[in-house]
Amino acid sequence: MALIKRQDRKAYGVIQNFFRDDLAKSGDLGYPLHAEWSGYRAVDIYSDRYRIVWRDLAEIEDYAGAEGDMVVPVEVVRVGLKNPDGGSTIYDQPPD
């Protein structure tokens, strides 16, 4: 994220807004991935130039919310240009 912030402040802002406004409020965003990326989801943002890849973790109780509220934390595994060098994609490295 630091590299994106240095190289493209507008894209950085759009990505931050996605995390804060969209992903935090809805668990059904993006599209599911397959094969070695099974269990992960992705979304293309900022005029389809950047891709964010994440997976949902186990639900936890929302200690700041009302009693019985649950939170689904996510692990973000990739944020970057869809095609960083023109030939490869963000998926060319296996998930961590």
pTM of the model: 0.80
Are 89 and 82 spatial neighbours (Cβ–Cβ below 8 Å)?
yes
SS3 state at 18: helix
The predicted pLDDT at position 44 comes to 93
Which residues lie below 8 Å from residue 83, measured CB to CB, with a gap of 6+? 89, 90
Quick one: residue 71, left, alpha or beta (phi over 0 = left, psi -120 to 50 = alpha)?
Answer: beta
CATH class of 2-81: alpha beta
The predicted pLDDT at position 12 comes to 93
The predicted pLDDT at position 9 comes to 94
Q: What residue ranges do the domains of the chain occupy?
A: 2-81
What are the average pLDDT values for consecutive 10-residue runs of the chain, which has 96 residues?
A: 90 91 81 92 91 89 75 86 75 70
Q: How far is CA 46 from the centre of its chain?
A: 13
